[in-house]
Each structure stands twice: as C-alpha cells, then as structure tokens.
Chains A and B, each alone.
Chain A
C-alpha cells in the first residue's frame, strides 16, 4: 500500500492545484487519531469503574506484560496467528465525489482510525491495549497522536525530499517498499522490552 498511500497523501499528482492535499491528509489523520484516542480512553474509563478492576487492578500490568511478550513473538514471526481485522479499503471514488482536498481529509481520517483497514502489525493492538488498560485520557490521546505521526511522517518526508532532492514521489514509494521487515523487528524489540519491563516492575507491587 506504500505505493498508494504516499502518492494519494500527496494529492496523487504534482499538479499545482493539488499541491496542498497533503495538508488535508495530515489534518484528517490527526482528526482520526483524536477520535481513536478519545473512544479508547472512554472504553478504558468505563472498564476501570468495573468490579474486575477494583478487585484485580494490581494484576493489569502483569497481564499487559505477558500479552506484550506474546505480541513480540507474533511481530517477528516466531508465533504465527491471524489478527482480527477489517480488510476494507478506502474508496478511491471519494476523490471524485468529494474533491481532492476533502477526499484527502476523508482518506486520512478513515486510515487514521486504524481498525477500519488492514492491520499489518500487532503493535497497533498492543497500543490499543495499553490505552484502554493502562493510560489515562492525556496518555491515550498522546499515544494515538504518536501513531498518526508514524503514519504521516513518511508521506511528509517524501513530499519534502521530492521537492528538495528530486525524483518523483512514486520513486520514493518504491524505495520505501523493502523496509517493512526492519520496522517490524524494531517493533518486536520494543514489545519484548516493554513486556519484560512491565513483568519485572509488577513483581515489586
């Protein structure tokens, strides 16, 4: 999808009239992140008022730690299991019906929610778990926005590099292609680090 997201986030073409589509794509992604963070922290607030949390709240970091270790094994393909996910795609027709600016905003917002499209990395669910079970409102919003930063950063970088260095955005999209395994391994290392940190820290309480 890297060959779709990068060009579409950049307005699909280099025509001057579509040059600022990236701004609307980023704004849409941030909006999606705020909605995602708000919904997840609201679910977390409801859960924390439940009986289970009053009784077993001290075991939450232990549970999250174990799940993070399992997630790390899935991330680097030591364990293999399917992730629950919607495999829907953002309709390209939005660009024709809404126009390129509103279309880019809607595209960014839809992708920014995360769970409406394919989920490649189990790290997304790890973040969801953390926001719901461990984070407060501010932390949840911060993590959701960090997720959006990860989404939009390559798109912005490609736009910047194509204007400063040269090559069209499709060239950069192809170059980014082979790096997926590197990102997944780094995610796996972070997951195992966080999991072990939580397990060790929870043993003190």
Chain B
C-alpha cells in the first residue's frame, strides 16, 4: 500500500474518532456495570490489573510518536 493511500485510510479511521465521547461514555458505563455485577463474586482487582497493564503497554507504544 502506498503511503498516500494509507494516510487517506487513516484520515477516514480518525474521522470516526469524532464519536470518541460516545465511546468513552460506553466504556465508562460498561466498566461501572462490571464493577457492580462482579462485586463480591470475582476479584475485581484482576479486572483493574488487566486494564492497567494494557494501559502501560499503550503508554509505552505512544512514546514512538514523541517529537
């Protein structure tokens, strides 16, 4: 794929992130429900640990684009 084609595709993909507020809201609602439903049934901390581990990987990945 040529670079220009890839950039066009990325522009299309990023245009979708204008709905980012909605995605954030859905994520917050789902995680809140998970916290409520799994309370006293499953170790809640493992959900948080998994999430924060992925976040750490994402934080590391993002450094590739530092100026």
Select B59's contact among A139, A150, A189, beta carbons within 8 Å: A150
- Residue B41 is within 8 A (CB to CB) of chain A in the complex: no
Q: Give the segment of A20-28, A46-54, A111-119 that binds chain B.
A: A111-119
Main secondary structure of the interface of B (DSSP, over half): helix
A178 touches B59 (CB 8 A): no
A78 touches B58 (CB 8 A): no
Give the interface residue-count category, chain B: 35 or more
A174 contact set on B, CB distance < 8 A:
3
Q: Which of A189-205 contact B (CB under 8 A)?
A: 189-201, 204
B36 touches A178 (CB 8 A): no
A183 touches B10 (CB 8 A): no
B28 contact set on A, CB distance < 8 A:
69, 192-193, 195-196
Give Cα A189–Cα B67 distance, bound, in whole angstroms: 23
A109 contact set on B, CB distance < 8 A:
none
B51 touches A121 (CB 8 A): no
Give Cα A127–Cα B58 distance, bound, in whole angstroms: 10
Give the interface residue-count category, chain A: 35 or more
State the Cβ distance, B56 to closest chain A Cβ, in Å: 4
State the Cβ distance, A143 to closest chain B Cβ, in Å: 5
A194 contact set on B, CB distance < 8 A:
31, 48, 51-52, 55
Residues of A within 8 A of B (CB): 1-2, 5-6, 69, 72, 76, 78, 87, 111, 114, 117-121, 123-124, 126-127, 130, 139, 142-144, 146-154, 174-201, 204
Residues of B within 8 A of A (CB): 3, 6-7, 10, 13-14, 17, 20-21, 23-24, 27-32, 34-36, 39, 44, 47-49, 51-67
Given A154-B64, A197-B48, 11 more pairs with CB closer than 8 A:
A1-B67, A76-B17, A114-B63, A118-B66, A146-B53, A147-B56, A152-B60, A175-B3, A182-B14, A200-B31, A201-B35
